[in-house]
Amino acid sequence: MSSMLPTKEALDLRHVTRAAIPLFTSSKFWRTRFAINGERGFLLPIVRKFFPPEGNHEIDWRLLYHCTARLNCSDWFEIEIRAWETLRWLRDTASAIHRGRPRPPDFRGSPALQHYHNTARRNTFIESVEITSSLCKIAISALQEAGEVNITGIEFIFDDGRPKAMLGFATPGARQMSREKYARKTRRSPFDRHTTWPYPGVRVTMDVFGLRGIVFLKDANGIHGISIYHGWEEFDELDDSLCIGLATHDYDEQEQVAYSVSLDKVEKVIAVVDNRKMIDLGISGTTTKRSVYAEDEWNDVVDMYKRDNTILLKSV
């Protein structure tokens, strides 16, 4: 039974029964972590290649598990991990629908499925915040260092007495601004957002009514601009004055890409951060429709195969 549980839950059993104590040193238990649907299942092809079953290899599976909690891998391998965790989500969703059980939350953005493997790139951390209907304000912190504007943190403020929740950090002494004041300043001089936020940076607080998503500008170094997607807005009508940092709509750097993550109802925001800035963002929750961008790209793939007569379509 323990082999079917997530590692943390399996090890927590030792607080309930003494019979679970040997799990911590059980090679058989730690080896199950590397099964295709285990937490380190994305490493199975590598394990098979370097430690074939016919070889006489003594593997310390517990050590291997802990050594792979912090990864120092290429972008290509990162894509492999994203594909693996997405397939696991599809498997769990299909299984839940088939058995009539509640299905996993919908998601948008790379970090949203990190819980499947609980790993992170070296020197980065995963943080998350549960979103409820009591969310009333969001504070975004930006800081300019060596000419580069970075988003350092997002703070969520609730009106039901719940403590504030922070992703990343806000620099002590940062200039406090309202959304209206920040919008007036950027309208007066669009270049201010690039040049006037040196240390200790700026912290912009805005009212939020029904968070539905986030639009952010990022490259390999991190996130450089954020816009908030409100509950009543259509995406095409997103208010540019809500953008903090570099503009997510009029950027001109080829290396930077604007990402949009949105759902009908956002229940959790997940962030990848380091000790200086935010690296990536994702959300989970519920939605009634597929991602428009993914659907368009999928239709393009199907059309390409139709033109090349690579697949045979049969009408039903």
pLDDT range class, residue 316, cuts 50, 70, 90: very low
Residue 26 vs residue 300, higher pLDDT: 26
Give dist(CA 17, CA 197) in Å, integer.
55
Residue 170 vs residue 15, higher pLDDT: 170
pLDDT above 90 (res 134): yes
Residue 250 vs residue 86, higher pLDDT: 86
User: So what's the pLDDT on residue 312?
Assistant: 43
pLDDT above 70 (res 302): no
Asked if residues 162 and 134 have their Cβ atoms less than 8 Å apart, the reply is yes
pLDDT above 80 (res 255): no
Give dist(CA 158, CA 156) in Å, integer.
7
pLDDT above 90 (res 268): yes
Among 29-33, 76-80, 200-204, 228-232, which stretch is predicted with the lowest mean pLDDT?
228-232
pLDDT range class, residue 298, cuts 50, 70, 90: low
Under 8 Å CB-to-CB from 214, ≥6 apart: which residues? 226, 227, 228, 229, 260, 261, 262, 269, 281, 283
Among 32-36, 191-195, 221-225, which stretch is predicted with the lowest mean pLDDT?
191-195
User: So what's the pLDDT on residue 311?
Assistant: 45
Computed on alpha carbons and rounded to an integer, the radius of gyration of the chain in Å comes to 22
User: So what's the pLDDT on residue 315?
Assistant: 35
How many residues comprise the chain? Answer: 316
Give dist(CA 16, CA 14) in Å, integer.
5
Q: What is the chain's mean pLDDT, rounded? A: 82
> Which tens digits make up the pLDDT trace of 160-177?
989 999 999 999 999 999
Give dist(CA 267, CA 106) in Å, integer.
10
pLDDT range class, residue 236, cuts 50, 70, 90: very low
Among 18-32, 125-139, 288-302, which stretch is predicted with the lowest mean pLDDT?
288-302
Asked if residues 269 and 283 have their Cβ atoms less than 8 Å apart, the reply is yes
User: So what's the pLDDT on residue 229?
Assistant: 85
Give dist(CA 163, CA 149) in Å, integer.
28
Among 88-97, 99-108, 186-195, which stretch is predicted with the lowest mean pLDDT?
186-195
Q: What are phi and psi of 46, to 5 degrees?
A: -70, -40
pLDDT above 80 (res 99): yes
Say if strands 70-71 and 120-121 run parallel, antiparallel, or are unpaired. Answer: parallel
> Which tens digits make up the pLDDT trace of 44-72?
988 888 877 666 567 889 999 999 999 88
pLDDT above 90 (res 139): yes
Give dist(CA 219, CA 263) in Å, integer.
23
pLDDT above 50 (res 313): no
